[in-house]
Amino acid sequence: MPFSTERHSSFMEIYLPVAEMAVSFEVILGLGVAVGMLSSIFGVGGGFLSTPFLVFLGVPASFAVGTQAVQLISSSLSGVLGHWRKGNVDFKLGSVMLGGSFVGTVLGILIFKLLQYTGQIDVVINALYVLFLGTIGSMMLYESFKAILKKNHTSEPKQSRFWTRVMHGLPYTMTFPRSNLCISVIVPIALGVIGGLMVSVLGIGGGFLLVPAMIYILGMPSSLVVGTSMFQILITTSLSALLHILSNNTVDLLLAFILMVGALIGGQIGVRLTKFIKGAPARLALAIILLSVCFMLWESLFIEPVEHFTTEVVE
């Protein structure tokens, strides 16, 4: 029609049926590919990348976090299967952590609803991301620089002496034969609560926080840590996805599907790239990615916005 003023975009728009909004198909698929590459190269879930980016694209935070919970099922499942085949999952310790994760997830969903009600959800999610990504990113940057400068030093990370002493003083000990540990269940449960909160409030597995904690605080062998944390994430995120669907209806399966297919493709590309990216330089690259996302979110939080007002349609 000659008088038509419709936008002629080079991107294919796709309408998300539950979020009730249109997004660019290529951008969402590309985001999935990036997340898949990150997971296969660095072994991270990639939720820290997709949740903020979805929000950045205009997807409401509630839908970004809810949908991310479904995507996390597929990525953590594929991780668990790989580690399980090699016998690198401590199911007993993972199950104890899950006790805490369930509490954390339910608590997280309630906190989410409360923040939504007060209208601060986006700000809180942003601030927590800045805090986590900034901390982990700078630590990783420091560590990888150190490793690149003195290449000879590669010792196995283990439990710090401080935490050994703390762990000994706690009650309710249990033996975990697979990890060769005899520790109090309180600390794994507490870690589980944190994991559950991160999945349900932030839409991330939280492996980047739990993995070091399980090594330094619990004293687990590092070969078992990733598989076990992925097992805990798998069950936690399954519960979180269910609760997000049943309580808020904030899961868009079409969005989740595109992200998952993208991640599948990205994973295959990533596997072929791992030959070239290894060890300290890889961690340096990841640190830079983490810090860039952190900076992007920091900007939206600390720089005066052009438009001071936002609107939200409630019904």
Partner 1 sequence: MRHALMCLYIFLLLIGCYIPKAHAAPDSQIVIDMANESVDVTTGFSGSHIVVFGSIDTKGQEAAASTGVVILLKGPDSSVIVRKKDEVAGMWLNSDSIEFKNIPHFYDYATSMPEKDMASQQTLTENEIGLNTLMFDTEDRDDREDTQRYRLFQEALIRIWQQEGNLPLAGKQIKFIGNNLFRADFNLPANIPTGLYQVEAFLFEKGKLIDKRERVLEVRQAGLSALINHYAHSYSLLYALIGYAMAIGIGVLSAHLARRR
Chain contacts with partner 1 (rule: CB under 8 A): 1, 3-7, 9, 12-15, 17-18, 20-22, 40, 70-71, 73-79, 81-82, 85, 119-120, 122-123, 127, 238, 241-242, 245-246, 249, 251-254, 256-257, 260-261, 263-264, 267-268, 271, 300-305, 307-315
Q: Which is nearer to partner 1, 156 or 307 (CB)?
A: 307
Q: Which is nearer to partner 1, 85 or 278 (CB)?
A: 85
Q: CB 109 → partner 1: shortest distance, Å?
A: 14
Count of alpha carbons within 13 Å of 161, Cβ hemisphere only? 0
Token duo for residue 226 = 């990733």
In sequence order, the 6+-apart residues with CB closer than 8 A to the CB of 221 are: 179, 180
Q: Which is nearer to partner 1, 97 or 256 (CB)?
A: 256
Q: CB 15 → partner 1: shortest distance, Å?
A: 4
| The CA-based dihedral angle spanning residues 209, 212, 218, 223, taken in that order and rounded to the nearest 10 degrees | 120
CA dihedral sign of residues 119, 123, 126, 128 = negative
Q: CB 289 → partner 1: shortest distance, Å?
A: 21
Q: Which is nearer to partner 1, 135 or 248 (CB)?
A: 248
Q: CB 70 → partner 1: shortest distance, Å?
A: 5
Q: Which is nearer to partner 1, 129 or 176 (CB)?
A: 129
Q: CB 20 → partner 1: shortest distance, Å?
A: 7
Burial classification of residue 30, based on how many CB atoms lie within 10 Å of its CB (0-12 exposed, 13-18 middle, 19 or more buried): middle
CA dihedral sign of residues 57, 307, 311, 246 = positive
Q: Which is nearer to partner 1, 84 or 216 (CB)?
A: 84
Q: CB 104 → partner 1: shortest distance, Å?
A: 20
Burial classification of residue 269, based on how many CB atoms lie within 10 Å of its CB (0-12 exposed, 13-18 middle, 19 or more buried): middle
Return the DSSP state at 304.
Answer: P
- d(C-alpha 69, C-alpha 185), whole Å: 26
